[in-house]
């Protein structure tokens, strides 16, 4: 078990990653976070099968493994579980740079402002995603600047990557049925 204060940089990153964990009972293996040791710390990963968030945190924070998450106003408790988190690397593909995206808390923006942002994003990437997931890229009231890339495998678009110095995200494209 690990308890992390939410207001610390590590706590904010873990909270940001954990917000995309699955709540779908068909995917219990995606209902928490996965922690993997890397050279300079640990990578914390979570997904709901439509998007994936990951961040690197200091090694002394959490032991590698699978964890369920419990939140209080002040802390995040990671509880070890025996779920088998899916191989998250299989969805990370080579990317083609597509500019920058400034994630911010949108608040009460006008429909026109949101529409302009979505059109700009579509023009830049050419990928249709669930735009509600763009809101998850912000970190509370803090703006985050991401380098954006279009992930491609076998000459098919496989999602949009967002990379900032302390975190990364992948949002899968939406499947749109033709009439």
> Which three-class secondary structure state does DSSP give residue 72?
coil
The rounded percent of the chain whose pLDDT value lies above 90 is: 6
| CA 137/CA 133 separation, integer angstroms | 7
Q: Which two tokens stand for residue 148?
A: 């954006």
Q: How confident is the model at residue 74 (pLDDT cuts 50, 70, 90)?
A: very high
- pLDDT, tens digit, for every residue of 14-62? 988 888 887 777 777 777 889 999 888 899 999 888 888 999 988 777 8
Q: Answer yes or no: pTM beyond 0.85.
A: no
Whether 31 and 83 have beta carbons less than 8 Å apart is answered as: yes
Whether 144 and 98 have beta carbons less than 8 Å apart is answered as: no
Domain coordinates of the chain in residue numbers?
2-90, 92-171
CA 150, distance to chain mean position in Å, is: 15
pLDDT of residue 45: 92
Q: Is residue 144 predicted with pLDDT exceeding 80?
A: no
Q: Which CATH architecture has domain 2-90?
A: Roll (3.10)
Name the burial class of residue 14, with classes exposed (0-12), middle (13-18) and buried (19+) by CB atoms within 10 angstroms of its CB: buried
């Amino acid at each position: 078990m690990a308890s992390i204060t939410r207001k610390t940089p590590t706590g904010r990153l873990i909270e940001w990653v954990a917000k995309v964990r699955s709540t779908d009972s068909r995917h219990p293996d995606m209902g928490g976070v996965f922690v993997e040791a890397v050279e300079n710390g640990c990578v914390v990963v979570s997904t709901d099968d439509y998007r994936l968030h990951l961040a690197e945190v200091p090694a002394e924070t959490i032991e590698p493994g699978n964890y369920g998450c419990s939140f209080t106003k002040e802390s995040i408790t990671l509880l070890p579980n025996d779920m088998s988190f899916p191989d998250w690397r299989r969805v990370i593909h080579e990317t083609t740079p597509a500019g920058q995206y400034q994630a911010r808390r949108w608040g009460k923006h006008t429909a026109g402002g949101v529409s302009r942002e979505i059109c700009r994003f579509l023009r830049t990437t050419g990928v249709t995603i669930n735009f509600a997931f763009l809101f998850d890229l912000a970190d509370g009231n803090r703006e985050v600047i991401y380098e954006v890339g279009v992930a491609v495998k076998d000459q098919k678009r496989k999602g949009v990557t967002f990379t900032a110095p302390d975190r990364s995200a992948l949002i899968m494209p939406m499947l749109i049925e033709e009439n």
